[in-house]
Amino acid sequence: MKQTLQKYQDKMNKTIQAFADELNTIRAGRANPHVLDRMTVDYYGAPTPIQQVGNISIPEARVLQIQPWDTSLLKAIEKAVHESDIGINPSNDGKVIRLVFPELTEERRKDLTKDVKKKGENAKVAIRNIRREALEALKKMEKNSEITEDEQETAEKEVQKLTDKFVDEIDTHIESKNKEILSV
């Protein structure tokens, strides 16, 4: 039974990690290298993450600088940034690519906070689905006489505690990301 609970706790942890990674890709007016996490460039025929083909630095608060180790990749990186959904035009000086993050308008900030809340709700739904899956597995175990009714009840309480803990963690992530977005 412990392994069963651990399996569902691991699934919930992965959901939280995926949600946190998703929040990292939302740009909040400051240079954040995580906005490049999902971008890849064609490097000798293989799609390669931008972080693996060059040095990424933040020379100023709202500027992200990408310096590829192979300058022939400048055009490919520039193209990848253009095709992404981050909404920033790269500037290429022949050696490095600079991404200047514009100051967010008040309206855009509010839209981003709504988006963060929506993503948070989706993560909570995923956590609740995992809880439902765990409860069904426990009922099946009890029905097959693998565990007693008391053990099932105790395990169900544990599953609910886990669910509450992870939902609170999602709320904390939402709150901190919204604070980051709304700070000017």
The tens digit of pLDDT for each residue in 106-159 reads 888 888 889 899 999 999 999 999 999 999 998 998 888 888 888 889 999 999
Instruction: State how far Cα 111 lies from the chain centre.
Output: 18
For residue 59, what pLDDT is reported?
Answer: 87
Residues of the chain with CATH 1.10.132.20: 2-24+105-182
According to CATH, the superfamily of the domain at 2-24+105-182 is Ribosome-recycling factor (1.10.132.20)
Segment 175-179 mean pLDDT = 89
Q: Each residue of 51-76: pLDDT tens digit?
A: 888 898 888 878 889 898 888 888 88
Provide the pLDDT for residue 129: 95
* Cα–Cα distances in angstroms (integers) from residue 81 to residues 68, 74, 78, in the given order: 14, 11, 5
State pTM to two decimals.
0.70
Q: What is the pLDDT of residue 134?
A: 92
Q: Please name the fold of domain 33-100.
A: Gyrase A; domain 2 (3.30.1360)
Environment class of 92 (CB within 10 Å of its CB; exposed 0-12, middle 13-18, buried 19+): middle
CATH 3.30.1360.40 occupies which residues in the chain?
33-100
